[in-house]
Structure 1
Amino acid sequence: MRVTNQMIARGLLANLNNHLQRMEQLHVQLSSGKRLRFPSDDPAATSVAMRLQTGLVQTRQHRANLDAALSWLEATDSALNELTEVLHRAKELAVYGASDTLPQDAREALAKEVDQLFQHAIDIANTRHGGLYIFSGNQTLQQPYTYDPAATGAPMYRGDAGERKYEFADGVTVAVNVPGNGVFDPILDALVDLRDALNAGEGDRLGGEVTEGLDDALDNLLRVRADVGARINRMVLARTRLDELELNFEQLLSNTEDVDIARAIVDLKVSENAYRAALAAGARIIQPSLLDFLR
């Protein structure tokens, strides 16, 4: 086959262009730190990177859900801890008020303190977290209890028994809320009984059914707190696992997408040398011209 000068020139230009494209690709990789810019760079690695990126996004979403759940549970536990202190104080007042030697005016003074405890318990029941009522079930915009100083009994619960759930793994959820009626109704009823018994001077009731009602309410509260504590511990363990999973995804994604800096620098040097060599060889090959043959 006859090889013409034009064919040699076209081949030289094609080789030079290939070297330039390779150098441009390596420059981009070094400047961006990424090995994959287009799917065509490495289709198999691109497919793996897309799966890893999806897994990383899902893991981060689960981590965000878990953080929100843990924050809600911790706010709940803090409120229930404060409520426990209210009940402990109420029990102290019941024991003190049951004394046969206590005058009635002293019992009435205790009743006023119990009324303050009653109001404080309602304030705790109306605790909000992030602008939402934590003890209203799914009715998080609805205040669960309202204090009425003219009312003789405990207020009605205005939330529902719904569960507020967060997903922290595929198909795995946790209920973060405690519907208030299961916790606060027996406590508020017990505080009303205590207040009324003190005002009525009923020492026998104070030492009997009133104290038993407070004990039952406290036992129920402690069971709820134990359940909340167990959920918090579960969330803490799950967060550790998600942290490890996120780190693993990030490492695998980095291994797939990121460029090996040292290798890229070496490849760039090799490509530059090859480009210069091709340029020098081409200059020698196509140096003769028409003028050279006319001399």
Structure 2
Amino acid sequence: MSRVSENSSSAALNFSLGKAKSKLEDLQMKGATLKDISRPSDNPISNVEALSITSNMSDNKQYQRNADYALLHLNVTEKSLEQLTDLLVKAKEIAISQSSDFYNADVRKNIANEVNQLRNLALSIANKRVGQKYIFSGYSTLTQPFDVAGKYNGDKGHTTVEVAKDFFLPLNLNGHEIFYSSDDTSDKNIHPLKEIKEPDTSKPVENKRELASTEGENFHKRDNIFAQLESLSVALETNDAVLIQNLLEEFDDSISRLITLRTRVGSITSSVMNSKSRLESENIEGATRKSKLVDADIAEVFSDITKHQSVLKTTYQSSQGLMNQNLMDFLR
């Protein structure tokens, strides 16, 4: 007949109590943190997926901040283009009204002062900043894009920002494409020297003098919004109705170019807003999935706590006789 020692009974009792306490502590921890996973070993697969979702949500939050930054620049750019368009429409209205012979030289000289103010306003719009950065200077955001004479000092770069994973959008327009004509204003006629037939090289010819080189960069006429306003002002001061009439087509081209640029900015703004909305939707879906993986079921947790508290209490009561024994109980 085998006999169970007192040490074995005590060890079995301590093991049962420790197991019940450990399970109750885990449930109480879940109830306090409302998390089903408190350490990676609880559920390694769910923990890896939850970490991946957390990383993606963190990236999306940065993309959303980038989108907000892009929207700020695009809204300022669109507002500036709107103001510049209204300015040119006003200048065109002045040119239309002053192109007829109805007004005399004195009236046109007075109107020239208004045109000069329009030019100053255009220069102010051209040098607009967001914070400390100029929005129309390309990559050279700390360089003032236009000087007093209307010369462009920036570059033709477009700053891009990542508003979604591997999705980059430009957030600015450079001053060259806004204020300068988009057409190549260089001489499009074929150079007359190119039509001359090459000389017969079989006979030696003694050169009497060196010909100047005809190759080089094309010359560009000064065709920009500032030049148009200056030309209108000069035409009004000199009472030149013909020049005023010739400026109407140039104003139409500039206004059409600005409308095209405003359309481009609007399409970029729409893309940024769509991307931002998509990121918000992804964050909601990610948070829902992460909650299913990590968060604990409150009703189930507190129900299990109550159940295991009863189990632990019953274990204490059943082991009370063994735990309260002393030396006299063994001597009887």
Could you tell me the TM-score, scaled by structure 2's length? 0.83
Higher helix proportion: 1
After the TM superposition, which residues 245-264 of structure 1 pair with which residues of structure 2 at under 5 Å, given as runs? 245-264=282-301
1:11, distance to aligned residue in structure 2 (A): 2.0
- Does the alignment pair 1:182 with 2:177? yes
Q: Which residue identity is paired with 2:40?
A: P
Q: How does 1:15-26 map to 2 (within 5 A)?
A: 15-26=16-27
Question: In 2, distance between residues paired with 1:97 and 1:4?
Answer: 119
Shift of 1:22: 1.9
Q: Identify the residue that residue 137 of structure 1 maps to in structure 2.
A: 138
Backbone CA RMSD of aligned residues: 1.5
SS of residue matched to 2:66: helix
Q: 1:294 is matched by which residue type in structure 2?
A: L
1:124 aligns with 2:125: yes
Aligned equivalents of 1:68, 1:282: Cα separation in 2 = 68
1:48-71 deviation digits (Å, cap 9, x = unpaired): 111111111111111111111112
Show the counterpart of 1:229: 266
Q: Mean Cα displacement is larger for which, 58-67 or 1-10?
A: 1-10
Structure 1 contact 5–286 (Cα < 8 Å) conserved: no
8 Å contact from structure 1 (residues 164, 175) kept in 2: yes
Structure 2, unpaired ranges of 5+: 181-223
The residue aligned with 1:151 is none
Deviation at 1:2, TM superposition (A): 4.7
Q: Contact between 1:163 and 1:176, CA under 8 Å: does it hold in 2?
A: yes
Structure 1 residues 35 and 130: alpha-carbon distance in aligned structure 2, compared to 1, 3 A threshold:
farther
Structure 1 partner of 2:236:
198
In the alignment, the residues of structure 2 paired with residue 26 and residue 218 of structure 1 have an alpha-carbon distance, to the nearest angstrom, of 71
1:248-278 deviations in whole A, cap 9, x for unaligned? 1111111111111111101111111111111
Distance apart, 1:293 and its partner CA: 3.1
Counterpart check, 1:29 vs 2:30? yes
Instruction: Work out whether 1:243 is the aligned partner of 2:280.
Output: yes
Amino acid at match of 1:194: L
Secondary structure of 1:138's match?
coil
Q: Which runs of 4+ in 1 moved over 6 A?
A: none
CA displacement at 1:98 relative to structure 2: 0.9
Cα distance per residue 1:224-270 (max 9 Å; x no partner): 11100111111122221111111111111111111111111011111
Q: Which moved more, 1:176-185 or 1:278-287?
A: 278-287
Larger Rg: 2
Residue aligning to 2:158: 163
Residue 192 (structure 2) aligns with: none
Paired residues, what number?
288
Deviation, 1:286, is 4.3
The answer as to whether partners of 1:107 and 1:201 remain within 8 angstroms in 2 is yes
**Which residue matches 1:217?**
254
Percent identical among aligned pairs is 30
Q: Deviations over 1:79-98 (max 9, x none)?
A: 11111110110001111221
Pairing of 1:45-124 with structure 2 (within 5 A) = 45-124=46-125
Note the alpha carbon deviations across 1:14-62, whole angstroms, 9 max, x for none: 2212222222222222222222221112212111111111111111111
Name the amino acid aligned to 1:144. Answer: P
**Paired residue for 1:150?**
none
Residue 195 of structure 1 aligns to a residue in which SS? helix
Give, in angstroms, the shift of residue 135 of structure 1. 0.7
Hey, what's the Cα distance between the residues in 2 that align with 1:231 and 1:86? 24
Change (3 A) 1:214 1:286: same
Q: Is the CA contact (8 Å cut-off) linking 1:112 and 1:195 kept in structure 2?
A: yes
- Which letter maps to 1:188? F
Counterpart residue number, 2:212: none
Letter in structure 1 aligned against 2:27: L
